[in-house]
Structure 1
Amino acid sequence: MRNVLLSLTVLSLSLAFCHGFCFRVLPKAEWIDGKFVLPDSCVDVYDQKKHPLGSTWNTDHCMTCDCTRHGMQCCTRSGGIAVAPGCEAVVDETTCEYRFHMPGDPSTPCGPSRN
């Protein structure tokens, strides 16, 4: 029982301290007609689509991105790194949630997602 409690405590702290991965792409000003001009959109680094200033979108790589005049910021939607002792964790790219399974056997669930 003590090992289970310790494992659950470590798991809870790990999830609480993991805020996910984020990155920022700064806007690139262009020299046009003798002036620096900031872009009026952001280009998604994953699919190269343009998104207007003020927009927010989800990528196919489980990221949420925001386009502002300060640039584009994208963060994971899965919530960072998850650990369950004795299990492997993978991000389901359909739901953008972690799924836990037995090491080497994706068909056998374990850990927090086990019912």
Structure 2
Amino acid sequence: MAAMLLTVLSLALLAAANLIHGAAFISMPKEMTIRYGTKDHQRTVVRRYCEWNGQKVLLGSTWTTACCMHCTCTGYGLECYTHGVYMTPPGCLVLVNEVCEVEIVDSSDPNRPCQSLTVGPPGGVVTPGIQLEAK
């Protein structure tokens, strides 16, 4: 009985895996001090920034890397995340396309959408009031 419960819990966690995004704060924001004017009439400005690959990035900046990581520099630090973990039916493949969108395609022909996703739920039973949609 315990083994069956463990199996059910493991399957539930794996089924939820496609909703997980791997977010991480890579670094805390840094500060740099800039002094303007002469010694007698000086103004000091403290500018906060994030650092990415040796570059200083202003707060509020957002970008996508060539590896399809989405990054944002906030007052809390630099946050970058990827698409996460996806479970696919047999014969399907997760593909990240040219504009970093996730597509689930047929593993034998990556130009076609995965046919297993368009079949519907197991047993063909649809709960009334719930629309199923392939994305």
TM over 0.5: yes
Q: Percent identity?
A: 27
Task: Give 3-state SS (helix, strand or coil) of 1:14's partner.
Answer: helix
Contact (CA 8 Å) 2:30, 2:49: kept in 1 or not?
no
Confirm whether residue 58 of structure 1 aligns to residue 63 of structure 2.
Answer: yes
The structure 2 residue matched to 1:75, chosen from 74, 81, 93, is 81
Contact (CA 8 Å) 2:93, 2:104: kept in 1 or not?
yes
How far residue 49 of structure 1 moved from its aligned partner, in angstroms, is: 4.4
Structure 1's 90 and 70: CA in aligned 2 closer, same or farther, altered over 3 A?
same
Task: Give 3-state SS (helix, strand or coil) of 2:111's partner.
Answer: strand
Tell me which amino acid in the other structure corresponds to 2:57. H
Provide the TM-score with structure 1 as the length reference: 0.56
How far residue 72 of structure 1 moved from its aligned partner, in angstroms, is: 0.9
Number of residues of Structure 1 aligned to a counterpart in Structure 2: 93
How far residue 24 of structure 1 moved from its aligned partner, in angstroms, is: 1.9
Instruction: Give the greater-gyration-radius structure (CA).
Output: 2
Q: Which runs of 5+ in 2 are unaligned?
A: 1-10, 34-45, 119-133
Provide the TM-score with structure 2 as the length reference: 0.49
How far residue 91 of structure 1 moved from its aligned partner, in angstroms, is: 1.4
Q: Which runs of 5+ in 1 are unaligned?
A: 1-8, 33-37
Task: Kindly report the root-mean-square deviation, in angstroms, between the aligned alpha carbons of the 2 structures.
Answer: 3.5
- Between 1 and 2, higher relative CO (CA 8 Å, sep ≥ 6) is seen in 1
